[in-house]
């Protein structure tokens, strides 16, 4: 009789719990709340760190005008007329105003580009970064997964050692070094590409639209950034997939599949590959989140008009609202993608569904 009453007692205790305890007991709610706190914390840190940078937009503008031959007094007068934002207000007041605007979805207005909203600047540059980095990520991940499975099945052979050594060496080289080498050899020494024509995001006279001509031109200008992204990231995916595949090959369900007489190709794809790729899912989602940030150095080298180049320009000009807006967008994308990854991983991994 006591055993029968135990579930009823547990239900009664749950009903007596405060509503906020019941809500916080939900793991989804906890993860969403953790993501929100992370975004607020990063937004706060980015505000204070950006405003602690040496120099200000006014000083940068005055110094630029003086170097161009404009008298200092005239340059200061131009700066006072150009910058309508009160940069001399107490930082605490500026922070409260920033957070208040952020709560209403307003990222602010650029200091340098007058009457231009930060959200408009981000929407102008972000699609190009998503296009180039997203394409490079898709190619490198797909090729790295296939090479990782192949190397695992060819482990301890010369081709396994060749792939592992070569791709690990490429991964160890900074991406900006690869970008410079690509630019020097393909563009200058061997003259395989026209450096002047391939820079930027679109050729003169080409406008964005749903046409093959636009897509072809966009792919042409994104060739070098995509190539660098693939070269510098394919090794990491290949090594991770190789290690995961080797671990999965020793699982009992793989041995059982072979013992049932299934074809090795079916076991390799349906059993080994399908389960070995699951640990890479979290890494892929993190990479997708950081894809929003682009690559600050790569986009500068190739003069690719992405969000990384916009961030570099805003840092040089000390355009505080644009810097904060871009950093916030990167943070939100990474946090939200990781939140989605945590929620979907249980669905994707059958071994966790019963927990």
Task: Give residue-wise pLDDT tens across range 72-121.
Answer: 777 777 666 666 556 667 888 888 888 998 888 888 888 788 778 999 99
Q: Is the pLDDT of residue 60 over 50?
A: yes
pLDDT at 233: 92
Cα 152 to Cα 232: distance, rounded to the nearest angstrom: 21
Burial of 191 (0-12, 13-18, 19+ CB in 10 A): exposed
Calculate the alpha carbon distances from 136 to 132, 297, 355 in Å: 6, 16, 36
Is residue 287 a contact partner of residue 13, using CB atoms and an 8 Å limit? Answer: no
Supply the pLDDT for residue 1: 47
Residue whose entry in the numeric block shows the structure tokens 């024509």:
197
Confidence band for 230, pLDDT divided at 50, 70 and 90: very high
As a residue count, the chain comes to 355
Q: Which of 104, 86, 46, 67 is nearest to 331 (CA)?
A: 46
Please list the residues that pair with 117 across neighbouring strands: 109
Rounded to 5 degrees, what are φ and ψ at 83? Answer: -95, 105
Is-above-0.95 flag for pTM?
Answer: no
Strands (E), 129-266: none
19-28, 63-72, 230-239, 247-256: segment of lowest average pLDDT: 19-28
Tokens of 288: 């997708």
Quick one: 150 exposed, middle or buried, by C-beta within 10 A (0-12, 13-18, 19+)?
Answer: middle
List, for residues 241-267, the tens digit of each pLDDT value: 999 998 888 877 777 777 787 787 777
Domains along the sequence of the chain with CATH? 118-352 (1.10.3720.10)
pLDDT recorded at residue 11: 47
Amino acid 350: pLDDT: 55
Q: What is the Cα–Cα distance from 336 to 276, expressed in whole angstroms?
A: 24
d(Cα 29, Cα 167) in Å, to the nearest integer?
41
Asked if 328 and 307 touch (Cβ cutoff 8 Å), the reply is: no
Looking at residue 345, what is its pLDDT?
66
CA–CA dist 177, 175 (Å, integer)? 5
- Asked if residues 322 and 314 have their Cβ atoms less than 8 Å apart, the reply is yes
Within 8 A by CB and 6+ apart from 77, the residues are none
């Amino acid at each position: 009789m006591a055993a029968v009453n135990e579930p009823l007692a547990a239900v009664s205790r749950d009903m007596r719990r405060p509503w906020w305890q019941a809500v916080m007991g939900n793991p989804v709610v906890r993860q969403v709340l953790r993501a929100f706190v992370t975004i607020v914390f990063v937004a706060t840190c980015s505000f204070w760190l950006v405003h602690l940078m040496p120099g200000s937009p006014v000083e940068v503008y005055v110094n630029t005008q003086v170097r161009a031959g404009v008298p200092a007094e005239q340059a200061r007068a131009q700066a006072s007329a150009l910058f309508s934002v009160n940069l001399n207000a107490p930082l605490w007041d500026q922070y409260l105003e920033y957070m208040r605007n952020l709560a209403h979805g307003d990222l602010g207005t650029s200091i340098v580009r007058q009457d231009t909203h930060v959200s408009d600047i981000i929407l102008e540059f972000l699609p190009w970064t998503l296009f180039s980095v997203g394409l490079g990520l898709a190619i490198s991940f797909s090729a790295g997964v296939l090479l990782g499975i192949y190397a695992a099945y060819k482990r301890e052979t010369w081709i396994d050692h060749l792939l592992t050594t070569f791709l690990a060496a490429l991964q160890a080289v900074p991406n900006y070094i690869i970008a410079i080498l690509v630019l020097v050899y393909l563009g200058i020494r061997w003259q395989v590409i026209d450096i002047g024509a391939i820079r930027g995001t679109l050729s003169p006279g080409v406008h964005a639209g749903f046409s093959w001509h636009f897509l072809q031109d966009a792919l042409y200008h994104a060739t070098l950034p995509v190539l660098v992204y693939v070269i510098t990231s394919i090794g990491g995916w290949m090594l991770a997939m190789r290690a995961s595949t080797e671990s999965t090959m020793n699982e009992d369900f793989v041995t059982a599949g072979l013992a049932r007489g299934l074809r090795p190709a079916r076991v390799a794809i349906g059993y080994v590959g399908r389960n070995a790729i699951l640990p890479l899912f979290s890494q892929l989602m993190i990479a997708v989140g950081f894809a929003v940030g682009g690559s600050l150095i790569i986009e500068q080298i190739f003069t690719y008009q992405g969000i990384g180049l916009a961030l570099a320009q805003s840092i040089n000009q000390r355009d505080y609202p644009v810097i904060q807006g871009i950093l916030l967008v990167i943070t939100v994308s990474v946090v939200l993608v990781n939140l989605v990854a945590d929620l979907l991983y249980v669905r994707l991994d059958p071994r966790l569904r019963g927990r």
